A and B are shown apart, each in its own frame.
Chain A
Amino acid sequence: MSAEPPPTSVRTFPPSAAESANAPSEAPQLGYARAINQALGEEMRRDERVWMLGQDVGKMGGVFGVTRGLFDEFGAARVRDTTLNETFIVGAAAGAAITGTIPVAELQFADFMLIAGDEVFHKMAKWRYMHGGKLSVPMVLRLPTGVLGGVGAEHSQSLEVLGMHFPGLKVVLPATPADAKGLLKTAIRDPNPVLFFEHKGMYRTKGPVPEDPEFLVPFGEAAVRRQGTDATVVATGLMVPRALEAAEKLAAEGIELEVIDPRTLVPLDMETIVASVERTGRAIVVHEAVRTAGPGAEIAARIQEAAFFALDAPVWRLGALDTSIPQSPDLEQLVIPSAAQIEAAARELVAI
């Protein structure tokens, strides 16, 4: 616990632009998948250079139904069903991006970007760099990520850290329907290639989503999901609602967690994170990715580099176990951090 814990959090700094970009609560309720669909439709209506490709994204509307209805509105030329061919999906998107159109490519599962590894990590990430900055690669690669319930070791991984390790790729992980929409629209308008990790376990999560076609969530601005004074929890994707659940439990004990959702890992808003840690003195990074060499390792390292003398305890990381994800829907939940584990870890950290 910090020395003078107020009963409730009091903001000592003006609200960030990131917070003001959060959806107003009076906006209509929409599911996370529908919010993505809305972003795609709006951007394709706004700019006829925007188009989509992927397996079954056409008449079927995608294996998760995210692109439903877009084929009917925009036709087969702009909503292109491909063969089972990730190399083509990503590589053709990159080739189209350098020649004047703006592709939004969908892989059915984020794991499949490893099949197109050369196209993602060399072509998307480096084509501009290798060619002296004379070409740009304005494309978005949509990557359904995370555990879903029984889809197994090759369809459940959280691989966002790979994007952080290849300069040239922006990395986005929305945790709310509003962010899913606002971040995807920003991604489509960004002149750089973007890896858009959408959590397939959150597709049905509902929340307020603004209808304004100019609603954009900027990259590199973390959202403070909950204010607190005793420890900073940096959480991404599915771990955001779990961290908030843990925080509510701990609040009953008088422990106030500040929950920060970076929303984009590249660029990463360390300013907001460090400012929070300087006030709380404690930090824990939580993600669904494997703990070893996960994004949390980088974030934790940067926290201690920037705020070492403000820390009252080591920076902790919670992540998936160093194992593959078992196919069993019951067992898979034991691999990734639960709200109860976040709660227990935060309680222990605050007691140090």
Chain B
Amino acid sequence: MELDLYREVSRIRALELLLNRHIEEHGFGGFWHPGLGQEAIQAGAVSALRRDDYLFYAHRGLGYALAKGMSPVTLLADLFGRSGGSVGGKGGGTVHFVDPELGVLGQGGTVGSSFVLGAGAGISAQMLGTDQVVAIFFGDGAAARGTWHEAALTASVWKLPLVWICENNGWAISVPIAEQSPTENIADRAAAYGVPGVVVDGQDAVAVREATEEAVARARAGEGPTLIEAKTLRIRGHFEGDKQAYREDAGDGLEVPRDPLKILRERVPAEQADRLDAEAKAEAEAALEQVLAMPPGDPGVITDGVWV
């Protein structure tokens, strides 16, 4: 299990580093919200899902969809607005990756809107008796949305098969969590809805995976939702290019304290870790090269998909 997790964290890390470097050197037409340092949550939680479980990801990084099985070529093509993306060239920046076969159901541009949609996916699963679970990722900023409380209220009464995974990186754009939350833990809010609220070390992929496995088992057994709060750090700005002038503790944007990759590395043989790192780096570089050679989205797609 550790080796599989290491592979996923390393693949996500390689993409993060490559993207950050590419954007620094070549600029970027859209907005990229880097997820450097938060890879353990994305890889760990998604590894506890079944292939047909549903995923509503958040906007910080590509790791959620990559770990769910989407190809880095597809994801980067979406990011760079290329024709080979999952949305057929309509993407750009932090976009709406989608893959119905893998249960990747997309993301709204209004942060926190997945709570109510995710509940709806849970209703479908419950009604159709499919045994599927819905994983909904969000940040500490999105935890403020009424949509979470509104979904949590009914989801807990109806025992919907949901797992909420909060990536608490301590910053809602420019405002620290202490100025946004009266309690130290966002997970405390679960108590109001009679569901478990679990705090986990978000730098430890194994811990995240174990917490998610428990939540998934509970959801699949018809016992209802769980709120997992994974404590992590925001290494870079809200978006690539954000100088973080509001932040005294901003580091150099490169060093990852309590680095999830290093934490995992202690649990796997070094030579295997090296091999996986090399594979991840090669995969990311090949994907970017392939994507940059793709044509941009055809203007013909502009009006595609308005109607069935």
Residues of A whose CB lies within 8 Å of any CB of B are 49, 51, 77-78, 80, 82-83, 85, 87-88, 90-101, 103, 118-119, 122-123, 127-136, 138, 167-168, 191-192
Q: How far is the CA of A92 from the CA of B118 in the complex (A)?
A: 7
CB-CB under 8 A from B128, the residues of chain A are 49, 100-101
A95 contacts which of B120, B146, B305, B308 (Cβ < 8 Å)? B120
A268 and B98 CA atoms in complex are apart in Å by: 31
Cα distance, A136 to B305, chains bound together (Å): 9
Q: Which of B's residues lie within 8 Å of A, judged by CB?
A: 54, 85-88, 90, 96, 98-100, 105-106, 108-110, 113, 115-128, 146-147, 150-151, 153-154, 158, 304-308
What residues on A are CB-neighbors of B99 within 8 Å? 134
Q: Which residues from chain B contact A122 at a C-beta distance below 8 Å?
A: 108-110, 113
Which of B90, B100, B110, B120 counts the most chain A CB atoms within 10 A? B120
Max chain B Cβ within 10 angstroms of own Cβ: one of A51, A77, A135: A135
B306: contacting residue among A83, A99, A168, CB under 8 A: A168
Sort A-B residue pairs by CB-CB distance and give the 10 closest, nearest first: A95-B120, A91-B116, A133-B305, A132-B87, A95-B117, A92-B120, A99-B124, A96-B120, A191-B308, A131-B98
Q: Which residues of B contact A88 (CB under 8 A)?
A: 116, 119, 150-151, 153-154
A192 touches B121 (CB 8 A): no
Q: List 6 A-B contacts (CB under 8 A).
A: A87-B147, A88-B153, A95-B118, A99-B121, A123-B113, A134-B99
- The answer, among A95, A132, A168, for a CB contact under 8 Å with B86, is A132
**Contact flag A129-B150 (CB < 8 Å), given A118-B110, A119-B113:** no
Distance in Å: Cβ of A65 to nearest Cβ of chain B: 24
Contacts of A83 in B (CB 8 A): 150, 153-154
Residues in B whose Cβ lies below 8 Å from that of A97: 120
Known: A96-B121, A123-B117, A132-B87. A85 touches B153 (CB 8 A): yes
Complex CA gap A36/B293 in Å reads 54
| CB-based A-B contact count at 8 angstroms | 142
Write the chain B residue with the least CB distance to A190.
B308
What residue in chain A is nearest B302 (Cβ atoms)? A129
Q: Report the bound CA distance from A168 to B307 in whole Å.
A: 6
Determine whether the beta carbon of B116 is less than 8 Å from that of A92. Answer: yes
User: What is the bound-complex CA distance between A94 and B147, given in angstroms?
Assistant: 14
Chain B residues with CB under 8 Å of A92's CB are 116-117, 119-120, 123, 151, 154
Residue with the highest number of chain B CB atoms closer than 10 Å, among A131, A134, A138, A191: A131
Which residues of chain B have C-beta atoms less than 8 A from A82's C-beta?
154
Known interface pairs A80-B123, A83-B150, A128-B306; 10 further A-B residue pairs with C-beta atoms within 8 A, sorted by A's residue number = A85-B153, A91-B147, A92-B117, A94-B117, A101-B128, A123-B117, A129-B90, A132-B98, A168-B307, A192-B308
Q: Which residue of B lies closest to A100 (CB)?
A: B124
Are A87 and B150 within 8 A (Cβ)? yes
Least Cβ–Cβ distance between A113 and chain B, in angstroms: 14
| Residue in contact with B117 in the complex, picked from A85, A91, A101, A138, CB distance below 8 Å | A91
Distance A281 CA – B143 CA, assembled complex (angstroms): 58
A284 to B271, CA, bound (A): 80
One of A77, A85, A128 near B308 (C-beta < 8 A)? A128
User: Which residues of the partner chain B approach A91 to less than 8 Å between Cβ atoms?
Assistant: 113, 115-117, 119-120, 147, 151
Residue of A nearest to B132 (CB): A99
